[in-house]
């Protein structure tokens, strides 16, 4: 009898990342606006007041990304993520019992923090620490699960709200979060390989002896002072600002003469394109030179945003919308992988957290800024034109980051790059 091959633990971590994206993002973030009309009618508040819940959640999440990222290296990750999942479910149960909009603001403040930490930060950090090979592909697949989750859960939650009310939908959401995520946070999530464990695709011939040899990279304090970090920060800021225009697209499409139904259909094609783009750019980053992959997707993004600006009929707009959605993968997957490639895994969470925070703040502010541009000019011409410039500038900055950061992660052999004992201990739990 031949021995059965053992499943590499990294693939269990990948499964956990996919479920976190599918449920944690697809269910909680992609269904948030479905509640607005029902909540507005029952609580007797304006739709603007209800939509402010998402603004509160967005800014809370942005701050949390900067604060929580160092904690990944210092505390028990299983316990940390488990607490975040329980708090997320608790916030939904609190929302279901809300009798005033103030309670919903408080619940969304909690949700902004927990979802940012348990979903936005944990997935790229876990995959970055556990995969040396196929990192782009697994990051792309996990990212694509967010859109798939949204496509699955949006009609389910929408039907629940219509039939049983928004309070029941909140309760069901909380239960799903607990049942689906707790098994993974309790038994699978682990910050990085320890002992005899190695990342998937680890090249033993290129590493030193000892378990710490698998942790290679640039210390966060040093990374913050490098040109690549500055470039990544600016790219995250401007691409998230560009991405914030997505929330205005249904309105922009109706301004071309499309009906609301047709505009919604064109917009849904963008979400499909985003899902395909995350998978495709991940595979491309594994197979091609990084900047060739980024260049291809930059060209796709430019076509998409130019088409959404200039086309006026449904079919051409749908094609452009799909391309524009694919272009979103540059920031959502491409930059995340490039940051890991440049700085290594040593303190990846500490480096990625501030970058995500900057981008999240830009996205939250960008929605409002694009609204001001629309009100001031009577349309989105300047917003679309700005997005085209942004993608060109972002490509240039990423090229600078990759070129100037080449070989930077190999500086891990310097004294200050060795993890503190408490950090190594936390990673084993």
**What does pLDDT average to over the chain?**
85
Same domain, 22 and 163: yes
For residue 279, give the H/E element and its range.
Answer: helix 260-287
Q: Does 410 map to a domain?
A: yes
Gap between the Cα atoms of 383 and 168, Å rounded: 39
Task: Place 424 in a pLDDT band, splitting at 50, 70 and 90.
Answer: very low
pLDDT of residue 89: 96
pLDDT surpasses 60 at 427: no
Same domain, 152 and 236: no
Same domain, 243 and 386: yes
Same domain, 153 and 250: no
Same domain, 177 and 246: no
Q: Does 78 map to a domain?
A: yes
Report helix, strand or coil for 328: coil
Residue-wise pLDDT tens digits, 60-105:
988 888 787 777 777 888 999 999 999 999 999 999 999 999 999 9
Same domain, 147 and 57: yes
CATH code for the domain of 229: 1.20.1250.20
Q: Does 38 map to a domain?
A: yes
Q: Does 206 map to a domain?
A: no
- Going by the DSSP 8-state scheme, the letter that residue 429 receives in this structure is -
Q: Convert 300-313 to b/e letters by CB count within 10 Å (16 or more is b).
A: bbbbbbbbbbebee
Residue-wise pLDDT tens digits, 121-141:
889 889 988 998 888 889 989
pLDDT of residue 428: 39
Q: Does 2 map to a domain?
A: no
Residue-wise pLDDT tens digits, 332-385:
889 999 998 999 888 888 898 899 889 888 887 887 788 788 878 888 899 999
Same domain, 53 and 128: yes
Residue-wise pLDDT tens digits, 265-320:
787 788 789 889 988 998 899 889 999 999 999 999 999 999 999 998 989 999 99
Task: Place 238 in a pLDDT band, splitting at 50, 70 and 90.
Answer: very high
Cβ atoms of residues 424 and 212 within 8 Å: yes
Cβ atoms of residues 126 and 149 within 8 Å: no
Based on the structure, what is the number of domains in the chain? 2
Reference 243, options 174, 138, 334, 130; nearest CA is 334
pLDDT of residue 215: 63
Q: Which domain holds residue 41?
A: 9-191
pLDDT of residue 417: 41
Q: Does 140 map to a domain?
A: yes
Task: Place 209 in a pLDDT band, splitting at 50, 70 and 90.
Answer: very low
- Check residues 182 and 161 and name the one with the higher pLDDT: 182
Cβ atoms of residues 119 and 20 within 8 Å: yes
DSSP string, 212-272: GGG--B--HHHHTTSHHHHHHHHHHHHHHHHHGGGGGHHHHHHTTT--HHHHHHHHHHHHH
């Amino acid at each position: 009898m031949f021995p059965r091959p053992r499943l590499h633990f990294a693939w269990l971590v990948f499964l956990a990342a996919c479920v976190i994206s599918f449920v944690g993002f697809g269910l909680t973030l992609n269904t948030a606006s479905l509640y607005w009309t029902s909540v507005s009618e029952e609580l007797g508040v304006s739709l603007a007041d209800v939509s402010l819940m998402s603004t509160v959640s967005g800014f809370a999440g942005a701050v949390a990304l900067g604060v929580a990222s160092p904690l990944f290296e210092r505390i028990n990750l299983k316990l940390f993520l488990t607490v975040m999942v329980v708090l997320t479910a608790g916030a939904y149960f609190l929302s279901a019992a809300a009798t005033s909009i103030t309670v919903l603001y408080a619940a969304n403040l909690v949700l902004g923090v927990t979802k940012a930490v348990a979903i936005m930060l944990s997935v790229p950090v876990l995959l970055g620490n556990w995969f040396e090979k196929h990192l782009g592909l697994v990051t792309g697949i996990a990212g694509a699960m967010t859109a798939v989750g949204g496509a699955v859960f949006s009609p389910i939650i929408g039907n629940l709200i219509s039939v049983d009310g928004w309070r029941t939908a909140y309760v069901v959401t909380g239960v799903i979060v607990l049942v689906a995520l707790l098994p993974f946070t309790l038994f699978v999530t682990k910050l990085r390989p320890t002992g005899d464990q190695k990342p998937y695709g680890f090249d033993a011939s290129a590493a030193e002896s000892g378990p710490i040899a698998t942790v290679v990279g640039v210390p966060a304090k040093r990374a913050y002072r490098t040109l690549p970090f500055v470039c990544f920060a600016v790219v995250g800021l401007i691409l998230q600002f560009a991405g914030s225009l997505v929330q205005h697209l249904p309105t922009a499409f109706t301004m071309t003469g499309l009906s609301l139904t047709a505009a919604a259909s064109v917009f849904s094609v963008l979400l499909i394109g985003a899902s395909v783009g995350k998978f495709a750019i991940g595979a491309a980053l594994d197979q091609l030179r990084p900047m060739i992959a980024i260049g291809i997707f930059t060209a796709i993004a430019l076509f998409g945003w130019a088409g959404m600006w200039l086309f006026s009929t449904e079919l051409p707009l749908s094609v452009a919308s799909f391309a524009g959605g694919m272009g979103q993968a540059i920031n959502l997957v491409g930059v995340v992988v490039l940051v890991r490639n440049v700085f290594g895994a040593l303190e990846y969470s500490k480096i990625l957290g501030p970058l995500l925070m900057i981008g999240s703040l830009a996205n939250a502010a960008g929605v409002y800024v694009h609204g001001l541009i629309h009100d001031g000019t009577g349309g989105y011409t300047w917003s679309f034109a700005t997005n085209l410039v942004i993608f060109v500038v972002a490509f240039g900055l990423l090229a600078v980051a990759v070129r100037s950061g080449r070989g930077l992660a190999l500086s891990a052999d310097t004294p200050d790059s060795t993890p503190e004992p408490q950090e190594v201990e936390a990673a084993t739990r």
